[in-house]
Structure 1
Amino acid sequence: MEVSTLDAYSTYLMALRWLHFVAGITWIGLLYFFNLVNVEFMKKLDGPTKGKVIPELMPRALWWFRWGAVVTVLIGIMYYMSVLKDEPNMGSAIGIWFGVVLVTYAVIYAAFVPTSGPLNKGPILAIVVGLVVVIMMGILIAMLGGPKVSSKSLSIALGGGLGVIMMLNVWGIIWPNQKRIIAWIAANAAQGTAIPPESAKLARQAFLASRANFYLSFPMLFFMGAASHYPWIGFIK
């Protein structure tokens, strides 16, 4: 809906968009920090140094990271619903969108569970996740698209779907695994408690999920930007 006058509803929409931007910058900024800076930095630290740095740095960073993801996605869904109210079949569109996205995440989550075999290799896992995401987007375009559907709503459906998957990766894999690893490292540094061998498996899962989120963020941001600035839907009509 185009807004030409300043009223309560337009202010509400602007507040949603502003909060969405702030939370999204916090979340994705930390995602890029973890992948582009932190991973390589941690490789250069010895055991005792990690025991001091990780328990201090990571809990705070991961707090902003995981809650930034929640706020970004929840406000994004609220904004998406405000866009859909001007679209045909709003109720069924929301149901289809949630269903397709959640099934997609279930498949992706299953791909992250093994930490041995072909799926433990980054390039192979990337191909699998990429194919699953492309199939998801194709299904969403086929089921939600149509001559009366706006480019804006379809762009948000695709970008928002990727955002939901990324948030579920944060809360389903990255944070639970990192929480246990941080506790083990802190106990090792303070009391000399041995770090369980299981930590390597959990660290690998968290790394792969974080790296997947890193790559998924690029198409997600493209579709979010395209919602208001690039009417790409004309190419598929």
Structure 2
Amino acid sequence: MAKFFGNLHLVLVTGLVFAIAVAVHFGAAVTIDNVAVFSWLHVFFGILWIGLLYYLNFVQVPTMPAIPAEQKGAITGHIAPKVFFFFRYAALLTVITGLVLATVKGYGHQALTFQGEGQVALIGLGMWLALIMAFNVWFIIWPAQKKILGIVEASAEEKAAAAPRALAASRTNLLLSLPMLYAMVNANLG
């Protein structure tokens, strides 16, 4: 059992197979063009993205000042690069699956241009907030973190300048995540 649970990829594949079995058992057609599959993937990637956003803002960033200097390398050299890999790709895949869903369901253009009423406008707001957040991840947070973590060459001054920029973008995403989640959960566009 320890070998099984020690293998992340095996656990993920097993979870995927189990999810498909649940869907088949309850009568869902499991096809690649099935909207339910994209909805499920959208929620999965969204949970991963926002979960890591909250981990960074509630756990890692506030804890870093208390970590002794000789131990910080474990975080910056091993944990943070992995966190930021999953963080940025979860953001990308959340946006892609969300746009696919909105397009397949027929409200994508209306939502993005705020031409719909009620629930369509609400999902449109959620979509724009998520797009802003994904932009922050890829074009502000990640470039700054590459300097901070030493993934790219940067002077001490560049690293020092990158830290508040990354923090401001991350906290902006934290702020935007709350209305974004409200919009996404309450739009109920079926």
What is the TM-score when the length of structure 2 is the normalising length? 0.76
2:150 counterpart (183, 186, 201): 183
Q: Distance in 2 between matches of 1:9 and 1:43?
A: 48
1:164 aligns with 2:131: yes
1:197 counterpart (157, 164, 179): 157
Q: Residue type of the partner of 1:37?
A: V
Q: Distance in 2 between matches of 1:211 and 1:7?
A: 40
Q: Distance in 2 between matches of 1:226 and 1:178?
A: 33
Aligned-partner SS, 1:84:
coil
Q: Distance in 2 between matches of 1:28 and 1:67?
A: 12
Q: Which consecutive unaligned segments of at least 5 residues does structure 2 have?
A: 1-26
- Is the Cα contact below 8 Å between 1:80 and 1:153 reproduced in 2? no
- Is the Cα contact below 8 Å between 1:80 and 1:156 reproduced in 2? no
1:42 aligns with 2:64: yes
RCO comparison, higher one (Cα < 8 Å, 6+): 1
Count of aligned pairs = 163
Partner of 1:22: 44
Deviation at 1:9, TM superposition (A): 8.1
Partner of 1:102: none
Partner of 1:153: 120
- Is the Cα contact below 8 Å between 2:31 and 2:37 reproduced in 1? no
1:73-152 equivalences under 5 Å are 73-84=95-106, 93=110, 97=112, 141=114, 144-145=115-116, 149=117, 151-152=118-119
Q: Distance in 2 between matches of 1:63 and 1:217?
A: 19
2:176 counterpart (213, 216, 224): 216
The structure with the larger Rg is 1
CA deviations over 1:134-190 (Å, ceiling 9, x no partner): xxxxxx54xx13xxx4x3322221101100100000000101110121117x99xxx
- Is the Cα contact below 8 Å between 1:66 and 1:170 reproduced in 2? yes
CA RMSD of superposed structures (Å): 2.7
Deviation at 1:53, TM superposition (A): 2.4
**Structure 1 outlier segments of 4+, above 4 Å:** 5-11
Q: Residue type of the partner of 1:35?
A: N
What percent of counterpart residues are identical? 35
1:32 counterpart (48, 51, 54): 54
Q: Residue type of the partner of 2:170?
A: S
Q: Distance in 2 between matches of 1:161 and 1:84?
A: 17
Q: Which consecutive unaligned segments of at least 5 residues does structure 1 have?
A: 98-139, 188-193, 230-237
Deviation at 1:54, TM superposition (A): 1.1
Q: Distance in 2 between matches of 1:160 and 1:219?
A: 11
- Is the Cα contact below 8 Å between 1:80 and 1:157 reproduced in 2? no
Q: Residue type of the partner of 1:75?
A: T
Q: Structure 1 residues 30, 60: closer, same or farther in 2, change over 3 A?
A: same
